[in-house]
């Protein structure tokens, strides 16, 4: 067996801010966890809630992998157990009512988990982290919601460039648009954008999002365009829309949104579990290959407004996102 594992936070000068984590328990279980970035500023035990949630899920998954009965339990039971661990945090902090009423204030994390059950490897995916098997088959749940909110940043970035705005202005205002949406003129968009330009930008974003998702409901698309990231909790653990997504947040995770599958242990020669800070896979199942792919993405599209669109880009001492990778070779 060959194992490689790596994690680096997006803030190169603040490694302790990394909201990703991982689990490597040879012969038992492997996982990558991505804490949901929190903009509220809440601090729990010295950590932002994204990092804190990531650690809670990490500990819960490790405990499951170490327990023979828990490891072999039905996937729904495993999801419930991790959820309970986050719920217990709300109870200990006395904020159950607050986070029940305001989903955007919940702690959150995604998970890609591989459990070794002997003759079978079981995979459980909650959220948009992924796994690649045998260097050929990639499985990742991506409802497309982030692609719509990335359109807001792309179109704002381009419009500000057309207006002659400098790089700092493009970065600042386009990021604001991706977070708040372009349904109204936010104060942080002024004076670069006025009401007239905001309406032009909204029309461009709706047109681009509609072209990307021609079969999506108009109401869902316009909701995301108008509210951006700040409105995405409408789709969190909610099966009503094609844009719905799963995430551990201390409340029920519908199993309809959870990807679960088994593979015969002897059919898997390698598996690569990764968080969404990697925008392209490695050519081979090796850490060095994944890092080469990462550096190529950074060279081709550091701002993440072209080939690799995202709601944020990289700058001098900040990467687009935290990234984490666990590679297991069985041959």
For residues 183-206, give the mean pLDDT.
Answer: 94
Query: Residues 257-284: pLDDT tens digits?
Result: 999 999 999 999 999 999 999 999 999 9
Q: Which of 214, 235, 256 is the last residue of a domain?
A: 235
Query: Residues 34-44: pLDDT tens digits?
Result: 999 777 778 88
Measured CA to CA in angstroms, residue 61 lies from 54, 248, 283 at distances of 11, 12, 29
Average pLDDT, the chain: 95
* Residue 241 included in any domain: no
Give the HSE-up count for residue 252: Cα atoms under 13 Å, Cβ half-sphere. Answer: 5
Q: Both 74 and 166 in a single domain?
A: no
* Residue 240 included in any domain: no
Residue 325 has pLDDT above 80, yes or no: yes
Encoding tokens for residue 16? 């302790």
Q: Both 67 and 103 in a single domain?
A: yes
Encoding tokens for residue 126? 């909650």
Instruction: Give the pLDDT of residue 299.
Output: 97
Q: Both 39 and 165 in a single domain?
A: no
Instruction: Give the pLDDT of residue 77.
Output: 98
Give the global pTM. 0.94
Residue 201 has pLDDT above 80, yes or no: yes
Q: What are phi and psi of 88, to 5 degrees?
A: -60, -30
Q: What are phi and psi of 312, to 5 degrees?
A: -155, 165
- Contact between 330 and 1 under an 8 Å Cβ cutoff? The reply is yes
User: What are the start-end ranges of the E strands in the chain?
Assistant: 2-8, 20-25, 29-35, 43-44, 47-48, 109-116, 120-126, 130-133, 137-140, 259-264, 270-274, 323-329
Q: What is the CATH number of the domain that holds 39?
A: 3.60.40.10
Helices (H), 163-317: 167-180, 195-212, 218-227, 287-300
For residues 204-209, give the mean pLDDT.
Answer: 96
State the CB neighbour count (10 A cutoff) for residue 62: 16
Residue 230 is part of which domain span? 145-235
Q: Both 251 and 125 in a single domain?
A: yes
Q: Both 210 and 288 in a single domain?
A: no
Total number of domains constituting the chain: 2
Q: Which of 235, 261, 282 is the last residue of a domain?
A: 235
For residues 306-326, give the mean pLDDT.
Answer: 94
Q: Both 180 and 123 in a single domain?
A: no
Distance CA 310, CA 112 (A): 21
Instruction: Give the pLDDT of residue 40.
Output: 73
Q: What is the dihedral of CA 45, 247, 142, 329, to 10 degrees?
A: 70
Give the HSE-up count for residue 113: Cα atoms under 13 Å, Cβ half-sphere. Answer: 30
Q: Both 93 and 64 in a single domain?
A: yes
Task: Say what percent of the chain tops pLDDT 70.
Answer: 99
Q: Both 220 and 73 in a single domain?
A: no
Q: Both 53 and 133 in a single domain?
A: yes
Instruction: Give the pLDDT of residue 42.
Output: 86
pLDDT band at 244 (very low <50, low <70, confident <90, very high): very high
Q: Both 121 and 88 in a single domain?
A: yes
Residue 181's contacts (CB-CB under 8 Å, 6 or more residues apart) are 152, 224, 225, 226, 227, 228, 230, 231
Q: Both 229 and 105 in a single domain?
A: no
Q: Which of 201, 235, 269 is the last residue of a domain?
A: 235
Query: Residues 119-175: pLDDT tens digits?
Result: 999 999 999 999 999 999 999 988 788 999 999 999 999 999 999 999 999 999 999
């Amino acid at each position: 067996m060959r194992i490689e594992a790596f994690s680096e936070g997006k803030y190169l000068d603040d490694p302790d801010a990394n909201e990703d984590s991982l689990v490597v328990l040879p012969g038992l279980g492997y996982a990558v966890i991505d804490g949901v970035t929190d903009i509220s500023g809440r601090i729990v035990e010295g950590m932002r809630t994204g990092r804190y949630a990531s650690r809670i899920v990490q500990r819960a998954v490790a405990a499951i992998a170490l327990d023979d009965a828990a490891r072999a339990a039905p996937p729904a039971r495993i999801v419930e157990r991790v959820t309970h661990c986050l719920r217990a945090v709300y109870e200990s902090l006395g904020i159950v009512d607050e986070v029940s009423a305001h989903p955007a204030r919940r702690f959150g994390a995604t998970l890609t988990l591989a459990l070794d059950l002997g003759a079978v490897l079981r995979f459980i995916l909650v959220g948009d982290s992924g796994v690649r098997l045998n260097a050929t088959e990639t499985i990742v749940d991506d409802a497309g919601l982030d692609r719509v909110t990335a359109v807001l940043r792309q179109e704002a970035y381009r419009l500000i460039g057309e207006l002659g705005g400098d790089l700092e202005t493009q970065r600042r205002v386009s990021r604001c648009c991706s977070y708040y949406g372009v349904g109204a003129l936010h104060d942080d968009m002024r004076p670069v954008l006025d009401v007239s330009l905001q309406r032009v930008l909204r029309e461009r974003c709706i047109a681009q999002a509609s072209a990307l998702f021609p079969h999506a409901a108009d109401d869902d698309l316009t909701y995301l365009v108008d509210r951006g990231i700040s409105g995405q909790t409408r789709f969190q653990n909610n099966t009503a829309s094609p844009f719905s997504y799963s995430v551990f947040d201390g409340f029920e995770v519908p199993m309809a949104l959870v990807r679960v599958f088994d593979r015969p242990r002897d059919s898997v020669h390698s598996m690569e579990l990764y968080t969404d800070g990697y925008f392209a896979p490695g050519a081979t199942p090796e850490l060095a290959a994944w890092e080469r792919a990462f550096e190529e993405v950074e060279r081709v599209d550091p701002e993440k407004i072209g080939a690799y669109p995202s709601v944020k880009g990289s700058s001098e001492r900040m990467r687009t996102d935290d990234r984490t990778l666990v590679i297991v070779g069985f041959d």
